[in-house]
Structure 1
Amino acid sequence: MTLIAVTGRKGGSGKTTLCAHLCGEFSHMGHQVLALDADPQQSLIRWAGMGEGLLHRIVESLEASSFDEFNVQVQAAAKTAGLVFLDTPPTFTDMALWAHLVADLALIPVSPSPLDIFAAGETLQVVREANVQRRSHRPKAWLVPNRVRAFTSAGREIRAALEGLGAPVAPSISLREAAATAALRGLTLAEYSPSSPARREFSVLARAIEEELWIKQGALLVQRPG
């Protein structure tokens, strides 16, 4: 199993949106995907309940009062899917901290604002503390410029600002109407608007993640689909 935690201290950064549409992309690429909603707001569960698409079939709620209970549920998910996404709470609750103790990759969406960039730096520190606790380089952290307005100075500047935080910066995701409309219908972009520019951005991001986790490391964390 490979586990990707979508994480971050600041609410409203787009964690659930990132998680949902990446589930759509990896499923389209042939991966067996499952998503666990660990956020008490249950936004991903609600999204999935608004339609009859992929998310309706693969999203489950995760509630736990201890790390052992949390880990049991994560490992149970691993028995049904090779790739598990974890949508975490917007604050450093126990659940959010536990996610870093089991994840292979932490995706940190960051909107183009000073407060978001500051919060991303705090999240990176939590990831690094998890690395120390695990005596491992995992989870690896990627900063994802999110809700960026294409072809603007703010869009260009956020990449430069994030590069200064000392973690890899992933391909950017723009602020696009199609992503929000897909959510209203309970769908992923891969289902709702497969040829849209919005979907292409998530596809590029998913391919970059796949390359990082299954190609660069030289050993498969899960069996790549044929």
Structure 2
Amino acid sequence: MIIALANQKGGVGKTTLALHLAGTWARQGKRVTLIDADPQGWALDWSQQRAREGLSRLFGVVGLARDTLHREAPEIARDADHVVIDGPPRIAGLMRSALLAADLVLLPVQPSPLDGWASAEMLALLREARIYRPQLAARFILNRCATRTVIARETAETLADHEPPVLATTVGQRVVFADAAQTGRLAFEIDEASPAAREIVALAAEIDRLRIGRIAA
């Protein structure tokens, strides 16, 4: 399965989710490659920091911030159980290529009215991609939220009435994610019992239950 984390708004936690999903699946024994399609290269930076810390490689990280991604990602997927694409912000051509490469698009949004507006342009690109790939699946993921806040609940209720659907799993705003980004580690390596680690495991399991795979053209 090729999963693209996409939202044209920056700062919604795409890279954090991409790295942690890749790490969780790799830990489960799956062959995983992460494609860093963001010209800023945050996932590549994380991978390099991990190497500097002398930590073992959990999964491969490849930089492919170019609009031929939709042709190259399926080739990478031949040797992987999961390919995770960390998508770019606000580069329409590259975003289109990432969407066309994917079997499933995850749209991280924060519990904020501003994120709702920011998603409108993203959804237009998704509709365009579905002209060429009608089977392309998509889900919202509520990220960086405090689950008991009113705005988080209202955001989830708003997304429940929209297409694409929202995943049941939510991911909180956790200090351990910031620590992981700085140290080249993942949440489960810092604290396996942390809420952050449990939430990512639950998210990966929910995605697996969707049983989405590439359908040959």
Give your verdict on TM over 0.5: yes
Q: CA 1:143–1:54 in structure 2 vs 1: closer, same or farther (change >3 Å)? A: farther
Q: CA 1:181–1:206 in structure 2 vs 1: closer, same or farther (change >3 Å)? A: same
CA distance in structure 2 between the partners assigned to 1:63 and 1:10 by the alignment: 17
| Percent of paired sites with the same residue | 34
Which of 162, 165, 174 aligns to 1:165? It is: 162
Given that 1:55 and 1:188 are in contact with CA atoms closer than 8 Å, whether structure 2 keeps it comes out as: no
- Number of residue pairs matched? 211
CA distance in structure 2 between the partners assigned to 1:106 and 1:122 by the alignment: 15
CA distance in structure 1 between the partners assigned to 2:6 and 2:104 by the alignment: 10
Q: Is 1:196 equivalent to 2:194 in the alignment? A: yes
Give the equivalent residue in structure 1 for 2:106: 107
Given that 1:145 and 1:172 are in contact with CA atoms closer than 8 Å, whether structure 2 keeps it comes out as: yes
The CA deviation at 1:54 is 6.0
- Aligned letter for 1:152? T
CA distance in structure 1 between the partners assigned to 2:76 and 2:56 by the alignment: 16
Give the equivalent residue in structure 1 for 2:44: 45
Give the equivalent residue in structure 2 for 1:123: 122
> Secondary structure, in 3 states, of the residue corresponding to 2:3?
strand
> Secondary structure, in 3 states, of the residue corresponding to 1:16?
helix
CA distance in structure 1 between the partners assigned to 2:214 and 2:93 by the alignment: 26
Give the equivalent residue in structure 2 for 1:217: none
Give the equivalent residue in structure 2 for 1:35: 34
Gaps of 5+ in 1: 215-219
Give the equivalent residue in structure 2 for 1:147: 144
Q: CA 1:54–1:83 in structure 2 vs 1: closer, same or farther (change >3 Å)? A: farther
Given that 2:23 and 2:58 are in contact with CA atoms closer than 8 Å, whether structure 1 keeps it comes out as: no
Q: CA 1:92–1:55 in structure 2 vs 1: closer, same or farther (change >3 Å)? A: farther
Which of 46, 61, 64 aligns to 1:62? It is: 64
Given that 1:40 and 1:89 are in contact with CA atoms closer than 8 Å, whether structure 2 keeps it comes out as: yes
Given that 1:142 and 1:169 are in contact with CA atoms closer than 8 Å, whether structure 2 keeps it comes out as: yes
Give 4+ residue runs of structure 1 displaced > 3 Å after superposition: 52-57
The CA deviation at 1:48 is 1.3
The CA deviation at 1:30 is 2.4
CA distance in structure 1 between the partners assigned to 2:166 and 2:74 by the alignment: 29
**1:107-157, Cα deviation, whole Å (9 max, x unpaired):** 0100111111112233122112211122x221x111011100132112211
CA distance in structure 2 between the partners assigned to 1:125 and 1:62 by the alignment: 23
Gaps of 5+ in 2: none
The CA deviation at 1:221 is 5.4
Q: TM-score, normalised by structure 1?
A: 0.86
CA distance in structure 2 between the partners assigned to 1:79 and 1:93 by the alignment: 26
CA distance in structure 2 between the partners assigned to 1:92 and 1:55 by the alignment: 30
